[in-house]
Structure 1
Amino acid sequence: MSEDATLSDLDPEAVRSALVEWYEADHREFPWRRTTDPYEILVSEVMSQQTQLDRVVDAWAAFLDRWPTVDALAAADRSDVVAFWSDQRLGYNNRARYLHEAAGQVVDDFDGEWPRTPADLQELMGVGPYTANAVASFAFDAGDAVVDTNVKRVLYRAFGLDDDDTAFEAVASELMPAGESRVWNNAIMELGGVACQQRPRCDEAGCPWREWCHAYETGDFTAPDVPTQPEFEGSRRQFRGRVVRILGEYDELTLDELGPRIRVDYAPDGEYGREWLRGLLSDLADDGLIDVEDRDGTAVTRLRE
């Protein structure tokens, strides 16, 4: 797609629904996903800028236990906040200073009323466009479509976009349901975090966009932050794994029933067709993992018991 890319060839509602349903069915549980308090969300966003999310959980809880409200943080001694930040190894100490200053702005300059839009939130010290949009999205459901490194990787792979910020922003905005930035931004970031990682886990994580995904179809999982093809992606080993997983869900399948389930560009007489699939199945049969039986000229395969 070019920078004026749209989803005209897709069903946007189906794409949206698949992602949201996948996210709501099962996602990583972080405590800040269970709150709409802008103070608690801002703390989580600032902490997450340089620290792995699993480590942030304990630091976030300890910070809020000590300074449970924006008023409490604004009234705190800045040196105590910086010392906490340093003790928790949360990255640059100036982020602690900015967070303390931002709390003072909310209390003094905004009379305790939080700004609600991305533009207004950027008036707070140390709050840039990404953090402002995150707080607007997750606290007030009033954000724009997020476009971070993970989301770019998802969109690049899924829809074959050019590596162009304008294209990413256009498609991200077109996809996001109006007024639903909270669930949408959480969902698409979760997709990038657990399924469409630099080394993707399409089948293992049950990626909901596989039927539309350009990378899944072609086996090319390069991306702006993945300039060379991961060794595993598109390999016979990967497709062998898919065969075993799919056969685990069925008693038996013919080649033409199995093929499209492991590769969306499967065509019986094509490059990735019956001959290619027979080669995979032969390897798996030699390894004692499956059985292939000929029934009146039709190959049928199943997991070996």
Structure 2
Amino acid sequence: MTAEAEEWALPDDRGAVREALIAWYEEDHRDFPWRRTDDPYEILVSEVMSQQTQLGRVVEAWEGFLERWPTTAALADADRADVVGFWTDHSLGYNNRAKYLHEAARQVEEEYGGDFPETPDELQELMGVGPYTANAVASFAFNNGDAVVDTNVKRVLYRAFGVPDDDAAFENAAQALMPANRSRVWNNAIMELGGVACEQTPACDEAGCPWREWCDAYATGDFTAPDVPTQPSFEGSRRQFRGRVIATLREYDELELDTLGHRIRVDYAPDGEYGREWLEGLLTDLESDELIELERTGDGLVARLQR
């Protein structure tokens, strides 16, 4: 799929989308200690430890590791068996990660004079550092990365903007959304969004998701995603018609009840099974979710998007 084919899924007002997410993140987010540093070594240790390990368990291990080996020089001089033993004692997964981290520290000391490389491409020269980890370190240590695309980010992009389940599409959409020269805060923010608001079971309102006004899933109620089991049939469902209402009101400033009804379903009949009573119920739900506004006049009901 080409980048041109994907662009339609992203909002036109990307500046507002970006600032809403960054403001939400900066106002309140989970306080992991590696988010309070820009030391590339400390961030690399956190990234390697976090692979397939719950972040809550990583905190204690990360702090203990850095207390014992606070610099790349200290880790490079360590006995590899001690490093692997620490990894095992803290149940951090595959021991190869400990070996690679030890070797990467030696590379930094011996090949780079103790100074970390700063770009994603250069960081991939370190043992055990793949594209994702390299980009994360470049972003969080040097504010010099591309858009991070992990499972959480894919879920957010799929739900919010209808980005198709395709790696290239996710990469292009993520990069198009990220503001220039802000990879540190942006990548932290969008991963936080996927981690606390747009989880497999979403918590849109509870977490105050900043993208609700743009989000396709929030409008339709269809929260399927690449890593989430498929919900019951969408065709003909209430979720589908919620989405049609939102899409139609995006096209028109406002619409009277029957005009809107005829635009969202071909079998709309004011006094029929799918008529005014059915549509008013749908619109009342959307009004309760603060997605639309309803104006009740002497002539009937007028609907418009929430301003």
Question: TM-score scaled to structure 1, two decimals?
Answer: 0.78
- Aligned partner of residue 190 in structure 1, secondary structure: helix
2:128 is aligned, of 126, 129, 140, to 126
Residues of 1 paired with 2:224 and 2:285: CA distance? 26
Aligned residue number for residue 54 of structure 1: 56
Aligned residue number for residue 217 of structure 2: 215
2:95 is equivalent to residue 89 of structure 1: no
Residues of 2 paired with 1:277 and 1:66: CA distance? 60
Can you list the C-alpha shifts for 1:131-179, whole angstroms capped at 9, x where unaligned? 0000000000000001111111100111111111121111111111111
Deviation at 1:275, TM superposition (A): 2.9
Can you list the C-alpha shifts for 1:61-81, whole angstroms capped at 9, x where unaligned? 000111111111011010000
2:14 is equivalent to residue 6 of structure 1: no
Residues of 1 paired with 2:285 and 2:222: CA distance? 21
Residues of 1 paired with 2:134 and 2:102: CA distance? 16
Where do residues 274-289 of structure 1 align in structure 2 (5 Å cutoff)? 274-276=280-282
Deviation at 1:229, TM superposition (A): 2.3
Deviation at 1:113, TM superposition (A): 1.2
Residues of 1 paired with 2:140 and 2:112: CA distance? 20
Q: Match for 1:190: what amino acid?
A: E
Alignment CA distance shift 1:77-1:21 (3 Å): same
Residues of 1 paired with 2:2 and 2:200: CA distance? 23
Residues of 2 paired with 1:162 and 1:278: CA distance? 31
Alignment CA distance shift 1:107-1:163 (3 Å): same
Aligned residue number for residue 190 of structure 2: 188
Q: Match for 2:168: what amino acid?
A: T
Alignment CA distance shift 1:65-1:279 (3 Å): closer
Aligned residue number for residue 304 of structure 2: none
Structure 1: gaps of 5 or more residues = 239-259, 282-293, 300-305
Q: Is the 8 A contact 2:17 2:211 kept in 1?
A: yes
Q: Match for 2:140: what amino acid?
A: F
CA RMSD of the aligned region, Å? 2.9
Can you list the C-alpha shifts for 1:195-218, whole angstroms capped at 9, x where unaligned? 011111111111111111111111
Can you list the C-alpha shifts for 1:267-299, whole angstroms capped at 9, x where unaligned? 855477423466999xxxxxxxxxxxx999999
Q: Is the 8 A contact 1:142 1:179 kept in 2?
A: yes
Residues of 1 paired with 2:279 and 2:144: CA distance? 47
Aligned residue number for residue 101 of structure 2: 99
Aligned residue number for residue 204 of structure 2: 202
Q: Match for 1:157: what amino acid?
A: R
Where do residues 161-176 of structure 1 align in structure 2 (5 Å cutoff)? 161-176=163-178
Residues of 1 paired with 2:232 and 2:45: CA distance? 35
- Aligned partner of residue 203 in structure 1, secondary structure: coil
Alignment CA distance shift 1:279-1:101 (3 Å): closer
Can you list the C-alpha shifts for 1:237-257, whole angstroms capped at 9, x where unaligned? x9xxxxxxxxxxxxxxxxxxx
Percent sequence identity is 68
Deviation at 1:264, TM superposition (A): 5.2
Alignment CA distance shift 1:45-1:273 (3 Å): same
Q: Is the 8 A contact 1:157 1:213 kept in 2?
A: yes
Where do residues 1-305 of structure 1 align in structure 2 (5 Å cutoff)? 3-4=3-4, 5-6=6-7, 9-229=11-231, 268=257, 270=261, 273-276=279-282
Question: TM-score scaled to structure 2, two decimals?
Answer: 0.77
Equivalent residues, number: 260
Alignment CA distance shift 1:51-1:200 (3 Å): same
More moved, 161-170 vs 33-42: 161-170
Can you list the C-alpha shifts for 1:8-42, whole angstroms capped at 9, x where unaligned? 75201001000000000110000000000000000
Alignment CA distance shift 1:42-1:9 (3 Å): closer
More moved, 1-10 vs 88-97: 1-10
Deviation at 1:192, TM superposition (A): 0.4
Q: Is the 8 A contact 1:2 1:162 kept in 2?
A: no
Q: Is the 8 A contact 2:11 2:214 kept in 1?
A: no
Q: Is the 8 A contact 2:222 2:231 kept in 1?
A: yes
Alignment CA distance shift 1:264-1:203 (3 Å): farther
